[in-house]
Amino acid sequence: MTDRPAHHGPDGKFRIPWPLEVPDQRAGGGVLRWQMERMRTRLPPNPDPSALPLVSSNVARPRAAAGEMRITWIGHASFLLQMGGRNVLLDPHFGPRASPFRFMGPKRFVPPGVALKDLPPIDAVLLSHDHYDHLDEGSVRDLHRAFGDGIRWIAPLGHAAWLRARGITNVADVDWWDTIELPGNGGPLTVTCAPAQHWTRRTLREYNDRLWGSFALRTADGRRVYFGGDSGYFRGYEEIRRRLGPFDAVLMPIGAYDPRWFMAPAHMNPEEAVRAYVEMGGRGAFIPMHWGTFRLTDEDPLEPPVRLRAAWESADLPDADLHVLKHGETLVL
């Protein structure tokens, strides 16, 4: 017997520790099959820019008052979270593409909701995992240049070495259920890494060398936010509620789901995001993300919020709790 947690593989790599509901097709030619299918079918067109407006944000400067919470959607999985008198960035991506290359790969439909140069002072950055639509090297370098060691970088196991190689030392590598406290005037802001169903890779020779995760944040006065990171639907949301909830706001991915036979293990669809929210208690603001900024998969880029609203209605959830933010929009709670 060993004390190794189930998501730590014996080979030193990480793995999904529960059975998948839709089998993983990435091994055995799945990527090729997807690309071949894509060539044969006509994909829905990219959206007209007017369908994805950029609105001006309502960021508190330099920070929100201790009892106030402001959530600004920068785009894709990037948010500025102002809570507990702290400024926290989630999966900051300000670059033109979600790609290892400057000249190719998914291009941004909408400029960042807040430009990097217009950010208030940043106290912490949470990174959910290493994929190019979440971990953008240019943004990491620019943030480090702008705020230096004032930023505490928090990411699942394995990311610290990547950050240190870029001269960033104020780093915490966390496993699922590990907690970090960010000290501050009004008491600590508590950040806990939680499970997600996903995978990692930045270069071809890597695969699951770094862990992926979601995060729960709690202020000293008990306000709680959940950031789902990148995840397929899995049966862990009740446990997340039990251990870390209930939440005042839930930030969930709703895009990059088609084709289902290939994407389901790694990306939930809007119906599954609503199911996860219900399993997390079905209360608090629901804020969708991971749609409308980069085109990663085959669905119509404007479809996720339409399906989200329909799923929300069939689940009989209150309209007042659904907040489909525009790029740059700030929700004040």
3-state secondary structure of 182: strand
- The verdict on 91 binding Zn ion (CB under 5 A) reads no
Task: Name the minimum Å distance from CB 77 to Zn ion.
Answer: 6
In the list 133, 271, 272, 299, the residue contacting Zn ion (rule: CB under 5 A) is: 133
HEC assignment per residue over 73-142: EEECCEEEEEECCEEEEECCCCCCECCCCCCCCCECCCCCCCCHHHCCCCCEEECCCCCCCCCCHHHHHH
The least distance separating Zn ion from the CB of residue 293, rounded to whole angstroms, comes to 10
Q: Which CB, 76 or 152, lies closer to Zn ion?
A: 76
Dmax (CA) of the chain = 58
Which residue, judged by CB position, is nearest to Zn ion in the bound state?
A: 131
Residue with tokens 């971990």: 135
Taking alpha carbons only, the member of 175, 230, 163, 131 closest to residue 8 is 175
By CB under 5 A, tell whether 130 contacts Zn ion: no
Whichever of 133 and 329 has its CB closer to Zn ion, that residue is 133
Q: From the list 131, 159, 241, 307, which residue makes contact with Zn ion (rule: CB under 5 A)?
A: 131
When the beta carbons of 124 and 263 are compared against Zn ion, the nearer one is: 263
Is 295 a binding residue for Zn ion by CB under 5 A? The answer is no
d(CA 87, CA 81): 6
CA 210 – CA 252 distance, rounded (Å) = 21
Does the protein bind Zn ion through residue 136 (CB under 5 A)? no
Nearer to Zn ion, 63 or 93 (CB): 93
Nearer Cβ to Zn ion (131/295):
131
State which of positions 218-257 bind Zn ion (CB under 5 A). Answer: 230
Structure tokens at 121: 């002072």
**Given the rule CB under 5 A, which residues bind Zn ion?**
131, 133, 230
